[in-house]
Structure 1
Amino acid sequence: MPELPEVETVRTHLAPYVVGNRIVQVEVNAPNVLKNTTVPGFRNRVVGKRIEGLVRRGKYLQFLLSGEQAVLVHLRMTGKLLYRPALQEEPRARLRLHLQKGLLVYEDVRTFGGFWLVPKTGPTGVPGYDTLGPDAAGEAFTAAYLRQCLAGKKRMIKALLLDQHVVAGLGNIYVDEALFAAHIRPDRQAATISRTEVGKLHAAIGRVLAQGLAHGGTTIRDFVDSNGREGTNQSFLQVYGREGMPCPHCGTRLVYTKVSGRGTRYCPHCQRKRRRTQHV
């Protein structure tokens, strides 16, 4: 699933093409991608509207339209938002927004992603969206906030960081990478992580997200930006997808396990388990 760097990459590449552009026609080939409206309802609300802005919150994109409406999008596992200067044959196109200049095309092999019509301000009614935690790349996600979230928690640290209600935008790839960079084992109880370690973890999250953005995102299988280009961050990953290979720091063989049902990679030497309860 695209995580914060991938969704932000789509946003930054797509915005110059769509912001200021007007929607002149809507084509929906898979009505199930519209989660809270019908095809006629969606068409009536968006045709003729100008796209005034494109913002990201966590793993969601929001197209701000002229008037009071916005279109909220989540790519889920295999969704892609592509800009095309002209119409072309695309069998996997689930939805097209024909613009005054070009087209915005939504492709999705598994059709897990979705579009919602929402108000620009106030509650959206979209399950999970209104209760998102602070964005992992935002100013509200501070080391102090992270300490507060971890204090007294029996949950494993990886599970806590994957919880979008705690912090929005992180997923399996960047959590594994950040925990490795901070030398914290993924199955450690959150409450055992010291104040110093929390500071290191917060800084590591920022670094791995910045690296992902700098390399145009991570493409493991499906991710491409709005121009159809794959990311290159997969070439710079330290642990994700490298199980059985030597740790880049110490040479110990990297381990694959499951943490809260999620595939997880770590170094058993660099990320040793701590048993003594500490105070954050």
Structure 2
Amino acid sequence: MPELPEVEVSRLGISPHIEGRQIRHVNVRDSRLRWPVPETVKEVEGQTLLNVKRRAKYLLLETHAGTLILHLGMSGKLRVVPVETPFYKHDHISIEFDDGQSLRLNDPRRFGALLFTKEQPDVHDLLKHLGPEPLTDAFHADYLFEQSRKRTQPVKTFIMDNRVVVGVGNIYANEALFKAGINPKRAAGKISKQRYEKLVPIIKDTLAQAIEQGGTTLRDFTQVDGAPGYFAQKLQVYGRGGKLCMVCSQRLKEIRLGQRSTVYCTTCQR
């Protein structure tokens, strides 16, 4: 599933091609996504696309008439191509613009979404309970420490809870906890403020580096056959269960936490 850096890189990739353009037509080729695509998405036709923003893993395409809420789901990919470009299998949505270009959502597994709201997106049911963005000043050690008090859940599932902070997905939770030297099984409420003061900037830096690397490796969102996906990442623990720790050379342990693969070093992480 695309995580926050992949979604942010998608936003950065498509924005220059579609912001400021008039939406001529929303072509819903198949409405059977995670939720049925409502007819109201067509209310943006004739409107200028003002901004493409991101909230958590949702892309927000803003117009004066309202906002399209787009989610990539587990397998969704975006690309900007000329309107006359033949459709691929699983191209379910095509948003067509006045310059002859179109934004296409390709989603083989259909867990993506396209919805519409006339209200401010932050009050939409999908967004109103989300925690702060991890790369903003609203996410800081004092906040995370206070949120963690009396929490008995493992710190890994705690920082992956979108009600606490958005966008710290499984890959980046594994990596950040390793860099901070924190055992992912440790109860969130038992971790000191000093350790959260170390963890928060590491989370921010880990996500920022991933976005930066994605921006350099996935610059072209306009190739017919070059839809963006995961970018190359320098991972220290994720996906390396049973291999040697890059710091201490002990064998990394892999367990399941919250039904997600969790890899850590029993020596480096306490």
TM-score w.r.t. structure 2 length? Answer: 0.91
Would the alpha carbon gap of residues 122 and 19 (structure 1) be closer, same or farther in structure 2, given more than 3 Å must change? closer
Instruction: State the alpha-carbon separation in 1 of the partners of residues 184 and 220 from structure 2.
Output: 30
Partner of 1:33: 33
Structure 1 residue aligned with 2:68: 71
Q: Does 1:247 pair with 2:245?
A: yes
Alpha-carbon distance, 1:252 to partner: 1.0
Unaligned runs of 5+ in 2: none
User: 2 CA distance for matches of 1:37 and 1:209?
Assistant: 31
CA distance, structure 1, for counterparts of residue 41 and residue 133 of structure 2: 28
Decide whether the 8 Å contact of 1:224 with 1:231 is kept in 2. no
- For structure 1, list consecutive stretches of 5 or more residues without a partner in the other structure: 273-280
- In structure 2, the residue corresponding to 1:95 is in which secondary structure? strand
Q: How far off is 1:110 after superposition?
A: 0.2
Q: Which residue matches 2:118?
A: 119
Alpha-carbon distance between aligned partners in 2 of 1:119 and 1:197, rounded to the nearest angstrom: 42
Paired with 1:34 and 1:268, the residues of 2 have a C-alpha distance of 39
TM-score (norm 1): 0.88
1:122 offset after TM fit, Å? 6.2
Equivalent residue for 1:59? Answer: 57
User: Using a 3 Å threshold, how does the CA distance of structure 1 residues 224 and 115 change in structure 2: closer, same or farther?
Assistant: farther
**C-alpha deviations, 1:205-238, integer Å up to 9, x for none?**
0111011011107x9xxx997342444342x111
Residues 249 and 34 (structure 1), Cα distance of their counterparts in 2 relative to 1, 3 Å cut: closer
State the distance in 2 between where 1:169 and 1:52 align: 24
SS in 1 for 2:53: strand
The structure 2 residue matched to 1:81, chosen from 65, 78, 81, is 78
Partner of 2:150: 152
Paired residue for 2:92, among 91, 94, 97?
94
Tell me how far apart the structure 1 counterparts of residues 170 and 106 of structure 2 sit (CA, whole Å): 23
Q: Secondary structure, in 3 states, of the residue corresponding to 1:104? A: strand
**What is the letter of the counterpart of residue 137 of structure 1?**
L
Distance, in Å, in 1 between the alignment partners of 2:89 and 2:121 is 37
Native 8 Å contact 2:149 2:188 kept in 1? yes
Aligned-partner residue type, residue 19 of structure 2: V
Kept in 2, the 8 Å contact 1:132–1:165? The answer is yes
Partner of 1:271: 269
RMSD: 2.1
Match for residue 138 of structure 2 among 140, 154, 167: 140
